[in-house]
Chain A
Amino acid sequence: MLKVDHASVFFRARDGRTIHALDRVSLDIPDNSFVVALGASGCGKSTLLNAIAGFLPLSSGAITLDGRPVTRPGADRGVVFQKDTLLPWKSVLGNVALGLQFAGIPKPLRRARAKELLSLVGLKDFADAFPYELSGGMRQRVGIARSLAADPEVLLMDEPFGALDSLTREQMQELIISIWKATRKRIFFITHSIEEALFLGTQVVVMSPRPGRIVARFDLDFVSEFARTGDAGTIKTAPQFATLREEIRAILHGSDQIRSAAE
């Protein structure tokens, strides 16, 4: 269980003002869950992910992974970034095997493991290609395979499909569900797309900016349904899906209006 307990983050801005980026956020990511944080930009969802990853210390509150406090980045929490962060001087295989290399695993072993992961993300024919020879979607697949290589307890994904075109994006959503189903990893996923959140999450937390906080939580089942049936069209056109989409849209826009009324 990954537990975020009353996490608050304050930044000091360049002009000396204090910015309240995250306000007493509490969140559980249980085993086998797919938790999606949804919100407009500036709502603190990336701040939350950076804190869970260990890139950013908290001002107050605590984050624990299976009871151990999170203080620094580590291989137990794999991160997939929005911008791909592959190493341009390493082949696709070398990039996927990077975490295993850091762990000191011998070369033949890490090559074998990296090849397995590449076939999991559908790139086994591109093992010897270099990142600059791949499309954006393919690079992001490599990024996912790389973060899985170290066998993390939880996968943190920071708007991983935000820079992709909508067709590729749908393919990648289905890919990540199949990976989730195959590996049973806990996933914490950030997006600003309501539809993506509903389709992917077993739990969706809706966040609102200034200060960044959770304003609503939904427990969902669409992703398990897709994992069972493999039929995205039926799910996305179902009436419950549309109702929830409108409900969340109302929450997101509502929090906007509350703020503009206060200003």
Chain B
Amino acid sequence: MSDTIKTAGLLVRPTQDQPNTVDMKGFGAGEGSTLLISLATAVVLLTAWWLVARLGLVPRLFLPAPQEVLTQIGTVYRDGYAGASLGEHVSASLFRIAAAAAIAIASGIPIGLLMGLNRWAKGIFDTPIEFYWPLPPLAYLPLMIIWLGIGETSKVTLLVLAMFAPICLSAQAGVRSLPIERINAARSLGARHWQLLVSIVLPSALPEILTGIRIGFGVGWGTLVAAELIASNRGIGYMIMSASQFLATDVVFVGIGIIAACAFAFSLAVRILEATLVPWKGKI
């Protein structure tokens, strides 16, 4: 008995209340939050921009100061730019991408699922998709304009084509990653064909489909702005293009800022959708 007490006294020093906890040494970036580091980097970059403008290292024509861009946002918001208000430019762009996304999602998911399920569907749709998907959308924009005119139809069609392929291909990949045991289990519970599709195949493919939609929006934004630069009289891309022709660099900055904010908001929305629709992703 007295032995035990002595040993315990040797092991646990009375001065230390908290034990010295240890952890396995990690490798790579690890799990720690990077938010503070990222914020600090942003502050450093903004300060560098402000300093460069302030010290006059680069002519104002090429690089306006941050505060000038801020004032310009107010001016463009009040007075509009290049024949339309800021709201009209932004809503023209948003309408195009929203309409295209709706069409691409509504057609890409069923066609992709069908391609994953049916050999004939895969054979038929593979040919056109594999042919046009690697092409940069701007390569066939002139063709769209010749066929469909300069209006909204050609731009929305271009965006649909750009966004369709990633959504369709990811839906197909979702079906292919479906474990056969899950299908067999549902069959032995009496699932009929359409019940398999609705209750098993579609939800199983949902994580992949959402990833495809996120990629689709990424491609969509890039294509949208480029299409507006070339052929449009409304939209954020058009605003940037006309500002650059008048060397209004601050307005160019405003346009880029708006695109960045919109793209970020869309990406965030899909992420939130992912967190609500597929909280089980990667857990089973």
Interfacial residues, chain A to chain B (CB-CB below 8 A): 53-55, 72-75, 77-79, 81, 83, 85-89, 98-99, 101-103, 130-132, 146-147, 149-150, 156
Tell me which residues across on chain B come within 8 A of A86, comparing CB atoms.
284
Does the CB pair B189–A53 fall under 8 Å? no
Nearest opposing residue in chain A for B203, CB measure: A89
Given contacts A53-B184, A81-B181, contact A147 B283 (CB under 8 A): no
* In the complex, B190 has a CB within 8 A of chain A: yes
Name 17 extra pairs, CB < 8 A, besides A79-B185, A83-B181, A131-B284: A53-B188, A74-B188, A74-B190, A79-B188, A81-B185, A85-B181, A86-B284, A87-B199, A87-B200, A88-B284, A102-B191, A102-B195, A102-B199, A103-B190, A130-B280, A132-B280, A156-B188
Return B273 CB to nearest CB of chain A, in Å.
14
B186 within 8 A of partner (CB): yes
Q: Which residues of B contact A (CB under 8 A)?
A: 179, 181-182, 184-192, 195, 199-200, 203, 206, 278-280, 283-284
Q: Write the nearest CB–CB distance from B174 to chain A, whole angstroms.
A: 13
Closest approach, in angstroms, between the C-beta of A24 and any C-beta of chain B?
25
Q: How close is A134's CB to chain B, nearest CB, in angstroms?
A: 10
Min CB distance A152 to B, Å, is: 8
Q: Which residues of B contact A85 (CB under 8 A)?
A: 179, 181-182, 184-185
Q: CB within 8 A of B280: which of A53, A88, A98? A: A88
Q: A132-B280, A132-B283, A132-B284 are in contact. Are A73 and B199 (CB under 8 A)?
A: no
Minimum Cβ distance to chain B for residue A125 (Å): 21
Residues of A within 8 A of B279 (CB): 130
Cβ-defined contact, A146 with B189, below 8 A: yes
- Contact partners of B190 in chain A: CB under 8 A: 74-75, 99, 102-103, 150
Distance from B171 Cβ to chain A, minimum over Cβ atoms (Å): 17
Please list 29 pairs of residues, one from A and one from B, whose beta carbons are closer than 8 Å in the complex, sorted by A's number. Answer: A55-B187, A55-B188, A73-B184, A73-B187, A73-B188, A74-B190, A75-B188, A77-B188, A78-B188, A78-B189, A79-B188, A81-B184, A85-B181, A87-B200, A88-B283, A89-B203, A89-B278, A89-B280, A101-B199, A102-B186, A102-B195, A103-B190, A131-B280, A132-B280, A132-B283, A146-B189, A147-B188, A147-B189, A156-B188
Q: For chains A and B in complex, what number of residue pairs have CB atoms within 8 angstroms?
A: 72
Distance to closest chain B CB from A150 (angstroms): 6
B184 touches A99 (CB 8 A): no
B278 / chain A contacts, CB cutoff of 8 Å? 89
Q: In the complex, which residues of chain A have a beta carbon less than 8 angstroms from the beta carbon of B186?
A: 98, 102
CB nearest neighbor in A for B284: A88
A-chain residues with CB within 8 Å of residue B199 when the two chains form the complex? 87, 98, 101-102
B181 touches A99 (CB 8 A): no
Q: Which residue of A lies closest to B179 (CB)?
A: A85
A residues less than 8 Å from B185 (CB atoms): 79, 81, 85
Return chain B residues, CB-CB under 8 Å to A73: 184, 187-188
Task: Provide the bound-state CA to CA distance between A54 and B189, in Å.
Answer: 12
Q: How far is the CB of B194 from chain A (nearest CB, A)?
A: 11
Bound Cα distance A81, B186 (Å): 12
Nearest-CB residue, chain B, relative to A83: B181
In the complex, the answer to whether A98 meets B189 with C-beta atoms within 8 Å is yes
CB-defined contacts of A156 to chain B, threshold 8 Å: 188
Quote the shortest CB–CB distance from B173 to chain A (angstroms).
18
On whether the beta carbons of B189 and A75 are closer than 8 Å, the reply is yes
Contact indicator A99/B284 (Cβ below 8 Å): no
B190 — nearest CB in chain A belongs to which residue? Answer: A75
Give CA–CA (A150, B284) in the complex, Å: 25
B189 near A150 with CB under 8 A, answer yes
CB distance from B196 to the nearest CB of A (A): 9
Separation of A87 and B185 alpha carbons in the complex (Å):
10
List of B residues within 8 angstroms of A83 by Cβ: 181
CA distance in complex: A147, B186 (Å) = 10
Which B residues are CB-close (under 8 A) to A88? 280, 283-284
| Nearest CB of A to B13, in Å | 39
Let me know if B184 and A87 touch, CB within 8 A. no
Q: How far is the CA of A203 from the CA of B278 in the complex (A)?
A: 44
Cβ A79 vs Cβ B280 within 8 A:
no
Chain B, residue nearest A50 (CB): B184
CB distance from A113 to the nearest CB of B (A): 13
Find the residue from B187, B192, B195, B206 having the highest chain A CB count within 10 A: B187
Q: Of all chain B residues, which has the CB nearest A82?
A: B181
Please give, as numbers and ranges, the residues of chain A lying within 8 Å of B187 by CB-CB distance: 54-55, 72-74
| Residue of A55, A89, A132 contacting most chain B CB atoms (<10 Å) | A89
